[in-house]
Structure formats: structure tokens, C-alpha cells
Amino acid sequence: MDREPEKPQDSLFDVAVMAAIPHPLTYRFPPSLSISPGQRVLVPLANRKATGVVLGPTSRLAPGIEVRDALGAIDPEPALSSELVRLGLWISDYYFAPPGEVFRAMLPLRQATRRARHACLTEEGRQKLQELAASLLEESRKSQDAALLAYLDRRPGASLGILQRKFPSAYPRALDQKWVTVEEVKKERTRRQVLAVRLAGPVPEHPPWLTPVAKRIIEALEQQGPAEDHRPLLEAARAQLAHLRKLNQAGLIELREATPALPLEGRRRGGDSALPSGDAEAPQLTPAQATVLSELFPRVDSGEFSVVLLHGVTGSGKTEVYLHLIARCLERGRSALMLVPEIALTPAMQSLFYSRFGEQIALLHSGLTEKERDDAWWRVRRNEAKVVLGTRSAVFAPLANLGAVIVDEEHDSSYKQDETPRYHGRDVAVVRAQFAGAVALLGSATPSLESYWNGREGKYHLVKLEERIGGRKLAAVEVVDMRQEFRETHTQVPLSRKLKAEIEAQIRASAQTMLLLNRRGYSWFLLCRSCGETQRCVNCSVSLTYHRREHRLTCHYCGYSTAVPSLCPACGSEYLHYVGEGTEKIEQKFAELFPGARVARLDRDVARRRGEFLRVLSDFREGKIDILVGTQLIAKGHDFPGVTLVGVVSADIGLGLPDFRAAERTFQLVTQVAGRAGRGDAPGRVLVQTFYPDHYAIRLAAEQNFDGFFSKEMAFRRMMHYPPITALANVVAQHEKLERAAQVAKEMGEFFNRVEGQYPGIKILGPGPAPLAKVERRYRIQYLLKSASRSTLHALLKQLAHHCTQSGLQPREVMIDVDPVTLM
């Protein structure tokens, strides 16, 4: 059954290696291996093994480039479709991210790794090998030393056990002579598959060349029928996997990846014991929803790309529009993708999706275990799940024949990834829809300025839902001027008399209240009243926040935490004072202020304890909690019909930040949290406490006047040359040593001076310290690049990236952030 050896015709392929390398590398693959774009492969990189994604055959090889042999394929079939390979290359180009790192982000698959010690050739070892190979003495050329070195040259990273067994005398000598180094490297393991096996057709007369093993396999299949799991079959036939593969190649049997019995991800993760079956009736559509859908359906049916922005006020039934659009895609035999900012925190959304689409759903988000994510991902890849609901990285879900990409709460900044590749999930969703010929539907009650601008300019098709469903009114919002409160009471307290009285009335009426304070922890920081020092993070230029539960000071940027000192570390004074209120303190204060009321808290600290988070959510929904205190997490898409009062304890925290999106964020947050009030039958009220009652972001959010805010904010962006009027990029030189960061910034500055003239209309601001001048031990020096023309900006950044590589700057020393959502 062994075939005639074919004439070796090695093929060269470009591979995006999962490492910080700015361009693909070329490898040689044996002709026996069938390789296609999108396939994951194992390749040598320096003296280790690395995973890569095949991009395509190499068209032209630069002379003098040494091509190494690839080590093999990881999956039998491409993990990524050509459409997703194209998307990855687009991201790499647009966001200036190494292609391998983009594909790493796109393939959230398990890389079961196990620490192992491997041997590699040193430079001396390589020289010795050449010396021995060129030797005139045959005994040198054929020595065990030469054999060992040649072996390691062919197989970098061979295991120590093999070397010891194969070369018992040469191995200790090679170590001694430092021809070989031993290092601890990660060994990547391929996925363990379960294969389904069946006969390709009847085998009437067993071919004479069948080996006894092959005969046993075929006989077993003839007797017992197709096998869902190859392992018992192998046992029965006393065969190896390789035998199956040979029979498969010979066309006698068929192998495919089996469908393991999978748990529904949401069943356990969502905390719902009994999920509905997937045939729940959709509620009656309102005329406004029907109108929106009548705009969307022809777009799905046409198979042409378009972008629709759905601006719908809070409680206007956007989710029902999404569900109908997805159902339409399925009817047309297409798949659908829906992104949400925080899926793990919205179990209600999960249940709703399961109730409509049942087992056709796959969830993809970071709250899953590796195994769950792996299973869900392959279920999608195998076309068994045609609807994906997930967070940012689910935009890469391997769905085929995509009909619609939906981005809910499209304004949410969590769609932007804050590490390489720094892509924006919403913008990538639009490009993905473009490559797939699908509809991109962006939905929000407070669209980003970028998207709304595109809607106004006609680049996106703008549709609206202007009324709440069921004829419910938007909650009435009242602004409480905290300056006046201070003048009249002469005390600085977190609660105005007005808000306090309203909460008391709520408790008497057994109605629920939600309070927003966008600052977690107990106190903002610890201040010494003697010398004025605050306790700062050792890694970042920020104050540490006091967390009472752990009784520790914690950094919200890098996670550093330290014990609370009893004396000031700077001057030894004991007059340490906790300044400001966080959610933890407000929760405690309220429990004292409103005895008998049931008070709970929701913020990232609670969310970390998953069980507690889900319990608070369900208790609040069931009316077992009177007052819920929380950060912006409580503003995110929750639907609590019992809430009739929403209080914003302070709307000011975000306004003072040195960031051009400060007003936009404040407007969005206040509007969104106000939207949580009055979603049930009783009308809702909202009180917003602020020291800046005249600020347009506060005033227009109180009026829930989106168009008014848009015009006002656009005037500011236009004047200051900020997005969406201008394309923006943030370029940061960063290093643990301030001198090195300054040197990198200087290098970039000289480059900008040289080339600025070639890029008319571009504005380069800087260098200056970033608003957070030090984060995670790294000093940061910033340039801000602005251009009316996106292509001009891209061309300049491309030249900059090239220049940085040429002049030896390390990728981690230069951070390029295209379309930044924050300049902090």
C-alpha cells in the first residue's frame, strides 16, 4: 500500500508566525503534506517551535534568504477561511500589528502547552558542525559528535531524553564544550481529535495488497458499521491511527472529525438550570420595529454589503429587531453574528437567544473555560452552530456564508482592544461584513460620534426607533446642583437632601432604586494630612484606591496591591485620611442611612466573584434588593422592570479627564443609566447630581437630547481637529527606563521632522508625557498625529513602522494606536 515515492517537489509557503515579527516568513513544506491558506502549522523559529498560519504559496523569494523546513500541520483542515485570512491581513495593515499576533487573537484555540527542557545548537555548535562536516578525516565526519550536531541542526529543540539515548557519549561532551544549550521552552501540542470512521463504499473483494491490519479495520467496519469514535475501533482491530490515515488516502475509508457531545455553554455559565428549547414565540412587532426590519430584510436577501445604524432610544426594542434579523438570515440559509459589550454579565440576553435559536447558538467570550471556547469555536467552524453571540473577539468567529453582523451598544469602548492588535471590534465587524457581502447593523441609544457622522453623511444608512415599546415614556430627568447643596448645607456629602428624600420615598413605596457611581473601591486614595503625600502605585503614575473588604490599597491600572500603612511612609505621621467615596463606601453608608433597606453592589470587584454577581442580578430582578449601587456595569443593557428611580451620585468623575471623549462618555453614561428607569409599567424618574449643571453633556443627557448633543460636540471636534472630522493616531514611546523612552521618542521626533514635508496637511503634536505618564512600570512619551486624510495618515504611519524596524527599535518600545478611543 506504500506508494511509489514521488519526485520531491517541495513547496514554499508564507506563514504568519505567532510572534512579534512585522512580516510573514517563508517555510518549506514536504509535498506529501497538503497545505492550504488558513491552516495552522508548526514551524521552527530561531531555536524554538512556533505556531503559524499559512497565508499562501510564496510567489517570489528574495535571493539569499535561507528557507527552513516546516515541522508539520496542527489541524488537518484550515482553521481559518480565506475570508478570515484576508480580514487578518487587513487588520495587520490597518492597525500596524504583526500578522502573527493578529492571527493569534483571531484563533482563541487551546495551545495545550507543557513545559519541557529542550536542546539547541549554539553558535559554537554550528561552527563545530561545519568544521566536522568539512573535515578530510572520515572518522571526524562520521563521529558521534558530528551525528549529534547534524541531528540537532535538523531538529532544533529536540528533547533531552532522545539525545541521551541516541548519543550517550557525545551528548555530555557537547554540553561540556557549549556546542549545545538547554533551555526551558513551551512545547505546543496538537489537539487530540476524535475521528468518525466509515467505509467509503462497499469493498467487494479485498484488494490483495491489503495488510493484515488494514483487513482487520475493514472487517470491523463491515461488521459493526460506521464508528463515531476511532479509538475503540483501533483497539478492536489492534491498529494505529496511521493505518486509518493510509486507508483514508487509499480511498477505502472516510475520516472526519467527530462531533463530540457538547454541553451548551450557557447551560452552566448562564446559571439557568432549564433553558428553553429554541422555539419560543416572538412577541408581536411594533409598527416602528416592522418598518426598521422592512429596511433590513431586502439588504440581507440581496447578498450585498451595507451598513445600517439603528439609533433607538433606551427601551425601544432594539433586541427584538436583532432577533428577527438573525431569524431572516437562518431562513435564507445564512449565518449571523452578534457582538455585545459584556456577555458574561448579561445572562438574560443569553437565555433570550437560547429561547429563540436553541442549539444553533454558540457563545464566544472570555468567561468560558479554554475547553468550552475550543468546543464552541469548532462547532461554528464545522457549521453546526450558525448563530454566534459574543464579545469583541467573536468578530472572528469562523462562520461561513455570513448574512448579518450585528454590533449592539456600538458606542461601547470595550470594543476597542487595548493591547496588540489594537483593533476596534465595531470597525472590524463592518469590514468583515464587507468581505462577506453581509449587512452590518450597528445599534445604540447613544451612537458614537463616528457612526452617527457616517449616518448623517450617508455612508451608513440611518434608521430610528424613537418611542419606547408599550407606549412607555422616557424617564424624567432632574439635575441636582451640588454647588448649591454645599452652599445651603455647608457640608460635603455624597447624597443631596433631594436624592435622600426620594430614596426614602421609594423604600416606603417598596419600589426599587439604582444608584450609579462610576468609581469602585472604598475611597479614591489615601492622603497624608501632614505632608500631603498620597499613596501611589509603584508601577504607574496614579494613586492607589483603598478597598475595604481586602483592607488593601490597589492600583486599577496594573493590579498592584499593598497593605495599608499605619503611618505615612513619607513623613511618619499618623494623620492618614481616606479621600472620596467609591461604590464600596456608598454601599456601606446607605446600609447605615436607610436601616431596614436591602442594599447591594455591582461593580468589577463583585463581577470577579461570578456566583455573587449572578446572585445580585437575580435578587435585584426578583425584588429582593431595594437599592443597587454600582459602576457603569449597571448601565449596560440590563432590563429591570421594577426600577422606578435612578440616581447618579456623581456625573462629574469622567468630565475632568484630559481626554477628548470625556464629554461623549459622560453623555452616554448618564443617558444609558437613565434608560434603566421606568422599563416596567410604572413611570421612572432620574436624579443627576453634579457640580457642573451647565455642562452641555450633563444638560443634554438630562434632556435625553441626542441630536442636540451631537451638534454641540461636533462643533468642538471640528474646532479641535478630533475624530470623526480628523483621522487620529496615538504613537507612544515606552520603556521601563525613562532615558530609553526619551531616546525612542527623540528617534521618532527626528524621523517626523525629516518626513513631515512629504505629508501635507498632517499635524504632529508632541512629544509630551502621556496623561498617564507611567503605566505598568513603563514611562510613556506621546505623539498625537492628526490628518484630514486617512490615507495620508496611514502612509506616514507605515513609513514610521518601517523606520522603527530599520533603526532597531523594539516592537514593545513603540506603540501605535490607530483610531484610539482614549488618549490616557
3-state SS, residue 436: helix
Whole-angstrom distance, CA of residue 253 vs CA of residue 706: 63
Whole-angstrom distance, CA of residue 468 vs CA of residue 607: 30
Whole-angstrom distance, CA of residue 525 vs CA of residue 517: 16
Cell 531538529 belongs to residue: 155
Grid cell, residue 550, equals 481586602
Smallest gap from residue 787 Cβ to Zn ion (A)? 33
* Cβ count near 705 (within 10 Å): 16
Please, are residues 797 and 729 in contact by the beta-carbon 8 Å criterion? yes
Grid cell, residue 407, equals 454590533
Grid cell, residue 42, equals 508548526
Nearer CB in complex with Zn ion: 153/533 = 533
Nearer CB in complex with Zn ion: 11/530 = 530
Nearer CB in complex with Zn ion: 305/560 = 560
Please, are residues 1 and 245 in contact by the beta-carbon 8 Å criterion? no
Please, are residues 444 and 409 in contact by the beta-carbon 8 Å criterion? yes
Smallest gap from residue 777 Cβ to Zn ion (A)? 8
Please, are residues 506 and 642 in contact by the beta-carbon 8 Å criterion? no
Polymer length of the chain: 824
Nearer CB in complex with Zn ion: 20/531 = 531
Phi and psi torsions of 820, nearest 5°: -65, 145
Burial of 225 (0-12, 13-18, 19+ CB in 10 A): exposed
Nearer CB in complex with Zn ion: 434/539 = 539
Smallest gap from residue 539 Cβ to Zn ion (A)? 4
Ordered strands of the 48-57 beta sheet: 68-69, 25-29, 11-17, 48-57, 40-45, 72-73
Nearer CB in complex with Zn ion: 200/571 = 571
Nearer CB in complex with Zn ion: 304/736 = 736
Please, are residues 632 and 665 in contact by the beta-carbon 8 Å criterion? no
Smallest gap from residue 517 Cβ to Zn ion (A)? 22
Burial of 483 (0-12, 13-18, 19+ CB in 10 A): exposed
Nearer CB in complex with Zn ion: 657/772 = 772
Burial of 47 (0-12, 13-18, 19+ CB in 10 A): middle
Nearer CB in complex with Zn ion: 41/568 = 568
Contacts of residue 101, defined as CB under 8 A and 6 or more positions apart, other chains included, come to 18, 19, 20, 420, 421
Nearer CB in complex with Zn ion: 529/624 = 529
Smallest gap from residue 784 Cβ to Zn ion (A)? 24
Please, are residues 15 and 41 in contact by the beta-carbon 8 Å criterion? yes
Smallest gap from residue 778 Cβ to Zn ion (A)? 11
Nearest to 191, CA basis, from 73, 81, 99, 103: 73
Grid cell, residue 607, equals 463581577
Smallest gap from residue 416 Cβ to Zn ion (A)? 20
Nearer CB in complex with Zn ion: 352/540 = 540
Please, are residues 71 and 44 in contact by the beta-carbon 8 Å criterion? yes
Smallest gap from residue 579 Cβ to Zn ion (A)? 14
Smallest gap from residue 545 Cβ to Zn ion (A)? 10
Residue 500: which H helix or E strand, with range?
helix 497-508
Q: What is the DSSP letter of 6?
A: P
Nearer CB in complex with Zn ion: 655/772 = 772
Smallest gap from residue 780 Cβ to Zn ion (A)? 13
Smallest gap from residue 605 Cβ to Zn ion (A)? 16
Smallest gap from residue 566 Cβ to Zn ion (A)? 12
Whole-angstrom distance, CA of residue 125 vs CA of residue 175: 10
Smallest gap from residue 414 Cβ to Zn ion (A)? 20
Binding stretches for Zn ion (CB under 5 A): 528, 530-531, 533, 537, 539-540, 555, 557-558, 560, 568, 570-571, 573
Nearest to 674, CA basis, from 507, 820, 510, 475: 475
Grid cell, residue 257, equals 472529525
For the chain, helix (H) and strand (E) counts, in that order, are 27, 33
Smallest gap from residue 561 Cβ to Zn ion (A)? 9
Handedness of CA 632, 633, 636, 637 (dihedral sign): negative
User: 3-state SS string over 636-669?
Assistant: CCCCCCCEEEEEEEECCCCCCCCCCCHHHHHHHH
Nearer CB in complex with Zn ion: 576/651 = 576
* Cβ count near 609 (within 10 Å): 11
Smallest gap from residue 574 Cβ to Zn ion (A)? 9
Q: Give the ranges where 594-732 is alpha helix by DSSP (H).
A: 604-607, 610-621, 662-674, 696-702, 706-720
Nearer CB in complex with Zn ion: 539/799 = 539
Please, are residues 781 and 768 in contact by the beta-carbon 8 Å criterion? yes
Smallest gap from residue 775 Cβ to Zn ion (A)? 7
Nearer CB in complex with Zn ion: 222/574 = 574
Whole-angstrom distance, CA of residue 156 vs CA of residue 118: 8
Nearer CB in complex with Zn ion: 109/526 = 526
Nearer CB in complex with Zn ion: 352/555 = 555
Smallest gap from residue 575 Cβ to Zn ion (A)? 8
Smallest gap from residue 741 Cβ to Zn ion (A)? 17
* Degrees, nearest 5: CA angle 767-770-776: 130
Strands (E), 539-602: 545-547, 552-554, 561-563, 576-579, 599-602
Grid cell, residue 170, equals 557525545
Nearer CB in complex with Zn ion: 462/537 = 537
